[in-house]
């Protein structure tokens, strides 16, 4: 049984967040301490896709980073964002604070949402 992280609670809507995108597979919400005019976090929603960090990927979860990147790309296209940065913080030494794999999406362009 995995420990429930802050992002499990956001995913399960036990903690409020500013959700900008959601489907059956992923959710994207605004980072509470934005480092760019648009700073979003993409997470996979399914329990079977849960992995704490890039460092913990295995055969069963290897597809998850690609899923998050694909959804971020589609989100950018849908919102007319032509330039952005995608980042994974890996491990405490890599600046990771929340051990629920998430993709940072940063852009100088603002979204309406």
- For ligand AMP, the binding residues (CB under 6 A) are 6, 17, 29, 31-33, 41, 89, 95-98
Q: What angle do CA 77, 107, 85 make, to 5 degrees?
A: 85
8 is catalytic: no
Give the 3-state secondary structure of residue 95.
Answer: coil
Position closest to ligand AMP via CB = 89
Q: Which is nearer to ligand AMP, 96 or 107 (CB)?
A: 96
Q: Which is nearer to ligand AMP, 3 or 59 (CB)?
A: 3
Query: Which tokens sit at 85?
Result: 């940065």
Query: Nearest Cα to 51, choosing from 69, 65, 72?
Result: 65
- Mind telling me the catalytic residues? 102
């Amino acid at each position: 049984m995995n420990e429930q992280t802050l992002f499990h609670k956001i995913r399960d809507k036990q903690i409020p967040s500013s959700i900008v995108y959601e489907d059956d597979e992923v959710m994207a919400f605004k980072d509470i301490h934005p480092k760019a005019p648009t700073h979003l976090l993409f997470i996979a929603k399914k329990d079977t896709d849960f992995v704490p960090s890039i460092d913990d990927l295995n055969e069963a979860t290897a597809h998850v980073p690609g899923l998050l990147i694909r959804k971020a790309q589609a989100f950018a296209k849908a919102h007319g964002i032509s330039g952005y940065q995608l980042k994974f913080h890996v491990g405490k030494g890599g600046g990771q604070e929340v051990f629920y794999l998430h993709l940072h999406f940063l852009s100088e362009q603002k979204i309406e949402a």
